[in-house]
Amino acid sequence: MNAFARIVWFVVKKDLTVEVRSLEILSTTMFFAVTVVLMFSFGLVVDGRPLNDVAAAILWVAIAFSGTLALGRTFERERHNDTLRALLLAPADRPALYVGKLLGILLLLGLVELVLVPLIGLLFNAPVIEQAVPLLLLVGAGTLGFAAVGTLFAAMLVRARSRDVLLPIMLYPMTVPVMIAGVRGTAALFQPTPDAAVAQFWLSLLAAFDVVFVILALWTFEPVMTD
Amino acid sequence: MALAAGMFAVAPWMIDAAPYEATMGLVYKIYFFHMPSAWMFLTAAIVAGVASFRLLFLKRPRADHWVTAAAELAVVFGAFTLVTGPLWARKAWGVWWVWDARLTSSLMLFMIFVAYLLLRKYGGPGSDKLGAGLALFGMANVPFIYVSVNYWRTFHPPTSVVPTLPVAMGIPLWYCVTAFTLLFVILLRLRARLEHQRARVEALYLAEDEA
């Protein structure tokens, strides 16, 4: 294992160890995601029947909201006792630290989505099992794009004032393509006759977004995290 | 500076004079303001992105002043674009707003620069680099927003056709574009100058404290 991968692994292992011992972020984020789904359902289900495409929209809004919460909490933990400074002082590649944090967030959000997606399927009668593979790809690519931008912004904001409100302010306009692609792609899959071609288009857009923004984040992480 | 002041004095007159040369109906005249300000909005976004790149990767601290100046101008011209756009659209399309690719990407770009100003105002120390990161990401994001909204919209095409521009409108339009570009350059330079000087005053205060 080369040095880069080892640092990534150390960061992920550190985050996992802290999280497994308390389960604080995972449990609160998961419950928050479920609450978001319910709140939107009360708003958007009319006469016992959901509006068009509403299941896909609720799924992605819940991912975005709970993702913001998880990002904020994860870096709040790093700010406490100034452990992020310790991480940055370590003789390690800055991009490796970024990838480590990103993987930690992805793991966390993946677990949340493992509950969220079946819940959507259950509540809205969506074909989550029949469309499992394309849905997995869409949600995975969307979450990666969201988390790639989010991890960088949350890390940058650690030292800023009013970071709680600044994170969504910065993150949501930036992840509009993820939201549009995710919602439209998922909606295409949830139709009575799933439209694989449309879902494919949105998936490729998400993949392009992921590639561009992961590279840009790796590239930007070093200068923005240097004092 | 004298030249800048002179240009600044002339620019409002040019902007004021230009629309009256047109022989179009009253509503269409707003287009003379709308399109140049939209261009300046995009120019400001590009200037902010390039200056952010210089700040982050070439370590030029003064580039921050240009990012601030350009971001503020992006919000000003963006707000102007987004106000004049619906006024025109109400007459031309019958609705204030359509979820068209251009409209949505302009709105999102505007939101990103508003976020930038909020960050700079409330973010506290160190927000210059954060803001530069945001501006850089914002610039990279524009094509994605455009493609996604463009494709999304193809399922719901707008009900009316965007009128094409007649040739007769060309001259006053370009006149306005020139005036707006002039205004933009002057405002950008003045604003960046203000930031440069603010930084100098701060450095002098620091030197005074140490002495």
- Is any Cβ of chain A less than 8 angstroms from the Cβ of B177? no
Q: Which of A208, A212, A223 sits opposite B57 (nearest CB)?
A: A223
Closest CA to B133 of A207, A151, A161: A151
The per-residue pLDDT for range B13-35, each reduced to its tens digit, is: 555 555 544 444 555 666 667 77
- Which residue does chain B place closest to A227, by CA atoms? B126
Confidence band of A94 (pLDDT split at 50, 70, 90): confident
> What is the four-CA torsion angle of A17, A20, A21, A24, rounded to 10 degrees?
120
The per-residue pLDDT for range B90-129, each reduced to its tens digit, is: 776 677 777 776 777 788 888 888 988 888 888 777 777 8
What type of residue is A158? Answer: V
The per-residue pLDDT for range A110-151, each reduced to its tens digit, is: 999 999 999 988 888 888 888 888 889 999 999 999 999 999
Q: In sequence order, what DSSP letters do the residues of chain A get, joined into one string?
A: --HHHHHHHHHHHHHHHHHHHH-HHHHHHHHHHHHHHHHHHHHHEETTEEPTTHHHHHHHHHHHHHHHHHHHHHHHHHHGGGHHHHHHHSSS-HHHHHHHHHHHHHHHHHHHHHHHHHHHHHHHT--TTTTHHHHHHHHHHHHHHHHHHHHHHHHHHTTSTTHHHHHHHHHHHHTHHHHHHHHHHHHHHHSSS--HHHHHHHHHHHHHHHHHHHHHHHHHHHHHH--
pLDDT at A125: 81
Look at B133 and A226; give whichever has higher pLDDT: B133
Cα–Cα distance list, B85 to A171, B33, B153 (Å)? 26, 10, 18
Domain range for B177: 23-210
Q: Are A136 and A90 in contact (CB under 8 A)?
A: no
Cβ under 8 Å to A: B residues 102-161 = 104, 108, 111-112, 115, 118-119, 122-127, 129-130, 132-134, 136-138, 140-141, 144-145, 147-149, 151-152
Q: Are A217 and B152 in contact (CB under 8 A)?
A: no
Look at B189 and A146; give whichever has higher pLDDT: A146
Containing B210, the helix (H) or strand (E) segment is: helix B170-210
SS (H, E, C) A169-195: HHHHHHCHHHHHHHHHHHHHHHCCCCC
In a domain, B151, yes or no: yes
Contacts of A161 in chain B (CB under 8 A): 122-124
Distance of CA B211 to the CA centre of its chain: 42
- Which residue does chain A place closest to B141, by CA atoms? A174
Q: Are B137 and A216 in contact (CB under 8 A)?
A: yes
In a domain, B138, yes or no: yes
Is residue B158 pLDDT above 50, yes or no? no
Contacts of A220 in chain B (CB under 8 A): 56, 133, 136-137
Look at B151 and A136; give whichever has higher pLDDT: A136
Into how many domains does chain B fold? 1
Q: Do residue B115 and residue A170 have CB atoms under 8 angstroms apart?
A: yes
The per-residue pLDDT for range A38-70, each reduced to its tens digit, is: 888 888 877 777 777 888 889 999 999 999 999
Q: Do residue A176 and residue B123 have CB atoms under 8 angstroms apart?
A: no
Share of chain A above pLDDT 90, in %: 26
Cβ-Cβ contacts under 8 Å for A111 (sequence gap 6 or more): A26, A30
Closest CA to B51 of B73, B36, B35, B34: B73
Instruction: Report the length, in residues, of chain B.
Output: 211
Closest CA to A115 of A29, A7, A222: A29
Q: Do residue A169 and residue B118 have CB atoms under 8 angstroms apart?
A: yes
pTM: 0.80
Is residue B75 pLDDT above 60, yes or no? yes
Q: Do residue B151 and residue A205 have CB atoms under 8 angstroms apart?
A: yes
Confidence band of B162 (pLDDT split at 50, 70, 90): very low
Distance of CA B46 to the CA centre of its chain: 9
Cα–Cα distance list, B146 to A159, B100, B101, B136, B140 (Å)? 33, 9, 5, 17, 11
pLDDT at B21: 44
What number is the average pLDDT over the span A201-215? 89
Confidence band of A107 (pLDDT split at 50, 70, 90): very high
Q: Are A99 and A144 in contact (CB under 8 A)?
A: no
- Is any Cβ of chain B less than 8 angstroms from the Cβ of A94? no
In a domain, B2, yes or no: no
- Is any Cβ of chain B less than 8 angstroms from the Cβ of A170? yes
What number is the average pLDDT over the span A100-105? 92
Q: Do residue B130 and residue A156 have CB atoms under 8 angstroms apart?
A: yes
- Cβ contacts of B51-54, under 8 Å, gap ≥ 24: B51/B132, B51/B135, B52/B131, B52/B132, B52/B133, B52/B135, B52/B136, B52/B139, B53/B136
Q: Do residue A161 and residue B123 have CB atoms under 8 angstroms apart?
A: yes
pLDDT at A160: 82
Cα atoms found within 13 Å of the Cα of residue B174, Cβ hemisphere only: 4
Q: Do residue A173 and residue B115 have CB atoms under 8 angstroms apart?
A: yes
Angle in degrees, 0-180, between the axes of helices A196-225 and B30-57, rounded to the nearest 10: 50
Report the alpha-carbon distance of residue A172 to residue A54 in Å, rounded: 19
What number is the average pLDDT over the span B55-81? 84
pLDDT at B70: 87
pLDDT at B18: 53
- Which residue does chain B place closest to A159, by CA atoms? B126
Q: Which of B119, B147, B149 sits opposite A166 (nearest CB)?
A: B119
The residue of A224, A225, A226, A227 whose CB has the most chain B CBs within 10 angstroms, and thus the best one to mutate to test that interface, is A224
Cβ-Cβ contacts under 8 Å for B163 (sequence gap 6 or more): B92
- Which residue does chain A place closest to B125, by CA atoms? A160
Angle in degrees, 0-180, between the axes of helices A54-79 and A176-190, rounded to the nearest 10: 140
Is residue B155 pLDDT above 60, yes or no? no
In a domain, B5, yes or no: no
Closest CA to A100 of A208, A21, A217, A205: A217
pLDDT at B161: 37
Closest CA to A43 of A119, A183, A35: A35
Q: Do residue B129 and residue A156 have CB atoms under 8 angstroms apart?
A: yes
Q: Do residue A156 and residue B133 have CB atoms under 8 angstroms apart?
A: yes
Q: How many CB pairs under 8 A join A and B?
A: 93
pLDDT at B153: 60
In a domain, B16, yes or no: no
| Nearest chain B CA: its distance from A167 CA (Å) | 9
